[in-house]
Structure 1
Amino acid sequence: MAALAWLLIPLFAVVGAAIWGGWAARNRTTGDVAELAGYARFRDAMEKAASGNTTAE
């Protein structure tokens, strides 16, 4: 029985590593579209603010 336990430990480690590897390699690009649109709006607002702040020095 002890030999079976020692054989199951590496098996559980391999299964855990496979699950972790699949989770780490998942596709996480779903939220990029909204973030890029928000950044574009921010950049446009900053350009408008910079062009409206022309004061004579």
Structure 2
Amino acid sequence: MAVLAWLLIPLFAAVGAAIWAGWASRNRTTGDVAELAGYARFRDAMEKAASGTDAVRP
């Protein structure tokens, strides 16, 4: 019985490591869509503001 326990410990550790690796490598980009849309609006606003000024360009 003791041999079985020593064989099950690494098995449980491997299963736990696989679960943790799957959780750690999950895709977390669900919130980026709103941030990217906000950045695009900001960039458009900056382009409009820059085109309205009389800046000297060489």
User: What TM-score do you get using the length of structure 2 for normalisation?
Assistant: 0.61
Quote the offset at 1:39 in angstroms.
4.9
C-alpha separation between the residues in 2 aligned to 1:14 and 1:28? 24
C-alpha separation between the residues in 1 aligned to 2:51 and 2:39? 18
C-alpha separation between the residues in 1 aligned to 2:31 and 2:2? 48
User: What TM-score do you get using the length of structure 1 for normalisation?
Assistant: 0.62
Structure 1: gaps spanning 5 or more residues: 53-57
Quote the offset at 1:22 in angstroms.
0.4
In the other structure, the counterpart of 2:25 is: 25
CA RMSD of aligned residues (A): 2.0
